[in-house]
């Protein structure tokens, strides 16, 4: 049977593989090579060693963006996951209309990043207009604006995953704890949280990588203003490529650094939370 299928290789595998190579594999390898060169188009690259990397780290915009992204990621991962988990706890109680609430909380997630950015730009500027300023007045406005936006977008999504996890907690364990006289808080900490650890892993992973890679929302809400103070990594890399002359090599070096950070964060986080999961 394997032989019969193998003969159909061109039909089954080739379309996907060709597309995958053109849009991912080849650009990825070229990207690593180009980060060590000076280039305008990919065909006229000149080897310059690691000077792109040193330039990238000397670039105050890049360091600033890195720092801004890290702060933003920490704050939004914590707020999103805590609120989403609490909401999921509420919605797994016997409360009327859980379905309707679930529908409402999830909806913002379907709206794209660009549109989300402009919705919140209007609201935040509206609130700030009472103080006669706008979101570009201070970097901290942009920061908290992005945090609020991200919460609004992702809470519903994470809540859905947490609800599935909580509904999966074995009722026997909870009943046993009841008989032993455990309080609700003890049950939550000792039973529910360890049991939903797989959901916590997934949700932290998703919020972490999504916050770190944020681009559309950043572009629409502040576009980096004031100056480049609210520029996150993805936007800074984009601007290095397309906004500066002769900086493509540095942009590519920044992108490689960005990739390494994302990969390290993602893998460490998966490893750490996985090790806390209990075998059910």
194 touches 173 (CB < 8 A): no
CB of 225 to other proteins, least distance (A): 7
- SS3 label, residue 127: helix
Pick the closer one to other proteins by CB: 51 or 209: 209
Beta strands in 130-263 (DSSP E): none
Pick the closer one to other proteins by CB: 114 or 177: 114
CB of 60 to other proteins, least distance (A): 19
> What whole-number distance in Å separates Cα of residue 32 and Cα of residue 36?
7
CB of 149 to other proteins, least distance (A): 9
CB of 81 to other proteins, least distance (A): 13
Pick the closer one to other proteins by CB: 177 or 197: 197
CB of 41 to other proteins, least distance (A): 6
Q: What is the DSSP letter of 99?
A: H
CB of 125 to other proteins, least distance (A): 7
Q: Which residues contact 234 (CB under 8 A, 6 or more apart)?
A: 213, 214, 215, 218, 258
Pick the closer one to other proteins by CB: 139 or 256: 256
Pick the closer one to other proteins by CB: 142 or 251: 251
**235 upstream amide cis, omega within 30 of 0:** no
| Long-range contacts from 80-84, C-beta under 8 angstroms, 24+ separation | 80/150, 80/151, 80/154, 80/155, 80/158, 80/203, 80/207, 81/158, 81/200, 81/203, 81/204, 81/207, 83/151, 83/155, 84/154, 84/155, 84/156, 84/157, 84/158, 84/159, 84/162, 84/203
Nearest to 191 by CA among 158, 156, 165: 165
Pick the closer one to other proteins by CB: 48 or 225: 225
């Amino acid at each position: 049977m394997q032989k019969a299928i193998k003969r159909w290789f061109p039909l089954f595998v080739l379309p996907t593989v060709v597309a995958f190579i053109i849009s991912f594999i080849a650009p990825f390898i070229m990207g690593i090579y180009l980060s060590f060169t000076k280039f305008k188009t990919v065909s006229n690259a000149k080897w310059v060693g690691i000077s792109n990397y040193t330039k990238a780290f000397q670039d105050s915009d890049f360091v600033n963006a890195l720092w801004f992204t890290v702060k933003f990621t920490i704050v939004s991962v914590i707020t999103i996951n805590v609120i989403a988990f609490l909401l999921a706890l509420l919605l797994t109680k016997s409360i009327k209309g859980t379905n309707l609430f679930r529908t409402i909380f999830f909806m913002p997630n379907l709206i794209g990043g660009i549109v989300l950015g402009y919705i919140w730009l209007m609201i935040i500027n509206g609130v700030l207009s009472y103080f006669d300023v706008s979101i570009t007045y201070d970097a901290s406005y942009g920061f908290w604006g992005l945090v609020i936006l991200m919460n609004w977008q992702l809470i519903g999504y994470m809540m859905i995953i947490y609800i599935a996890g909580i509904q999966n907690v074995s009722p026997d364990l909870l009943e046993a704890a009841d008989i032993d006289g455990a309080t609700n808080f003890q049950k939550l900490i000792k039973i529910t949280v360890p049991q939903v650890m797989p959901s916590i892993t997934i949700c932290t992973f998703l919020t972490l990588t999504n916050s770190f890679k944020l681009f559309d929302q950043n572009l629409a809400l502040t576009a980096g203003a004031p100056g480049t103070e609210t520029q996150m990594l993805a936007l800074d890399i984009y601007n290095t490529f397309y906004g500066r002359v002769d900086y493509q090599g540095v942009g590519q070096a920044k992108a490689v650094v960005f990739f390494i950070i994302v990969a390290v964060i993602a893998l460490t986080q998966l490893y750490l939370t996985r090790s806390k999961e209990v075998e059910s």
